[in-house]
Amino acid sequence: MAFDPSSLRHLFPILAQSAYDHPLTYLDNAATTQKPLPVLDAIQDYYRSFNANVHRGAHFLSDRATNRFEQARDTIASFINAPEQSHVIWTKGATEAINTVAFGLEHLLEKGDEILITSLEHHANLVPWQQLAFRTGARLRILPLTSNGEWEPEFSHYFTDRTRIFAATQISNAIGVSTPLQTMLDHAKQQGAFTLVDGAQAVAHYPIDVQILDCDFYIFSGHKMYGPTGIGVLYGKSHALEVLLPYQTGGEMVRHVSYQATEFNVLPYRLEAGTPHIEGVIGLAAACDFLNAQDRLALLAWEQSLAMHVYSRLHKEGGIEIYSPEKNTTLVSLSVPNIHILDLNAYLDSQGVAVRAGSHCAHPLMAQLGVAGTLRASFACYNTMEEANRFCDVLLEAIDLLNDE
């Protein structure tokens, strides 16, 4: 039986409102998802029932907070099938997770080493590596999509004996294309490179198993998977996390401090300086529980069917360029020649339809596609077929209104 989004939509009270007298149609889920009641309740419950700083005070509330905080680490570890909970490091998001790795590996890089990324990367998985290359004299190399949006049949030559780091997104935030990750990771590992996978766009949709992926680092943010903002995860294999020099130092991450020296704490605390985002951690664990309680593959199939439906409707219309794949994606990214995406966006907004118009923090990819930006409708489990159709209807109205006579 097909998945019915009404089975969980009531858990997202924010969606039951009007925008400019139209039903709110929220299709900007790749930017951030809405949060279900269990997440909202968990955050409020934390402040109402067990707010205290973690890992310090030996008192009733602190013990409760610390227990729940470390239980949350277990929840996230099993959510991505990490072998040990100490492999899960809290960060403020995907960006901080990548920066933690980029700064942490700096001491291992030499002039002439290569850092390889793909042409699909969000700026968050590009700029930290570019800046690392500037600091160390390493060379940033790009494994490109071809002009027709395919991967080259033979890309192993991008992986050389100088490749020290390979970082790739699992799914492009801008155009919804998946990377042939397993093959790429195999090539990278053959060259002995550290491997990092940006799962920011994947975790809300795909069950993740970091042991099957077998990458050194897997990173994601909470707010794109029904969790709160300001919390993210850096998963790493033991040896990979162990070699990272802490990029932030201070309280919590130390075992002993004197004026002469500091002995750092063990993992995961060594990489978590300062009081953590406790409510975020609690909320993120609730988001994992929410997802675990669903039939994940049914949700994925539903989200993909919405994107496929939009693709098939708009593909038939002349004059719409679609950059996302026809299948196996949960978003549709498009542009209309001679009509500015901000104009399309403004009309969609006036009808209560929320999408994203812009470069999606991927300027080099947009340059490769030959556009300044695209209009992106991205789906989550609570979106309905009516909403997918409404996006198409309103977009076509907008094109009519904006087409020059």
Instruction: Tell me the catalytic residues.
Output: 361
Of positions 92, 123, 340, 363, contacts other proteins by CB under 8 A: 340
Which is closer to other proteins, CB of 118 or CB of 351? Answer: 351
Decide: 98 and 88 in contact? Cβ < 8 Å: no
Identify which of 123, 121, 291 has the alpha carbon closest to the alpha carbon of residue 206. Answer: 291
Which is closer to other proteins, CB of 20 or CB of 259? Answer: 20
In whole angstroms, how far apart are CA 24 and each of 334, 353, 380? Answer: 21, 6, 14
346 is an interface residue for other proteins by CB under 8 A: yes
Rounded to whole angstroms, the Cα distance separating 202 from 288 reads: 14
Of positions 62, 247, 343, 363, contacts other proteins by CB under 8 A: 343
Shortest distance (Å) from residue 343 CB to other proteins: 5
Which pair of tokens denotes residue 97? 């997770």
SS3 130: helix
Size of the site for other proteins (CB under 8 A): 15
20 is an interface residue for other proteins by CB under 8 A: yes
321 is an interface residue for other proteins by CB under 8 A: no
Which is closer to other proteins, CB of 283 or CB of 373? Answer: 373
Shortest distance (Å) from residue 157 CB to other proteins: 38
Rounded to whole angstroms, the Cα distance separating 405 from 400 reads: 9
Of positions 1, 6, 21, 239, contacts other proteins by CB under 8 A: 21
402 is an interface residue for other proteins by CB under 8 A: yes
Identify which of 175, 179, 220 has the alpha carbon closest to the alpha carbon of residue 361. Answer: 175
Strands across the sheet containing 331-335: 321-322, 331-335, 374-378, 356-358
Where would I find the H helices in 153-234?
Answer: 181-190, 210-213
Decide: 313 and 392 in contact? Cβ < 8 Å: yes
Shortest distance (Å) from residue 365 CB to other proteins: 17
350 is an interface residue for other proteins by CB under 8 A: yes
Instruction: Candidates 76-84, 162-170, 215-223, 348-356: pick the segment binding other proteins (CB under 8 A).
Output: 348-356
257 is an interface residue for other proteins by CB under 8 A: no
Of positions 86, 358, 363, 371, contacts other proteins by CB under 8 A: 358
Shortest distance (Å) from residue 226 CB to other proteins: 24
Of positions 90, 103, 151, 347, contacts other proteins by CB under 8 A: 347
Instruction: Candidates 92-100, 266-274, 325-333, 346-354: pick the segment binding other proteins (CB under 8 A).
Output: 346-354
Of positions 27, 278, 288, 339, contacts other proteins by CB under 8 A: 339
Shortest distance (Å) from residue 90 CB to other proteins: 28
Name the strand (E) or helix (H) holding 255: strand 254-257
> Is the C-alpha dihedral spanning 269, 275, 277, 283 positive or negative?
positive
Q: How many CA atoms lie within 13 A of 340 on its CB side?
A: 3
259 is an interface residue for other proteins by CB under 8 A: no
Rounded to whole angstroms, the Cα distance separating 345 from 353 reads: 8
- Tokens 């009309």 belong to 347
| CA 174 distance to own-chain centroid | 12
Decide: 262 and 249 in contact? Cβ < 8 Å: yes
Of positions 16, 266, 301, 401, contacts other proteins by CB under 8 A: 401
Instruction: Candidates 61-69, 177-185, 294-302, 345-353: pick the segment binding other proteins (CB under 8 A).
Output: 345-353
Where do contacts with other proteins occur on this chain (CB under 8 A)?
20-21, 339-340, 342-343, 346-347, 349-351, 357-358, 401-402
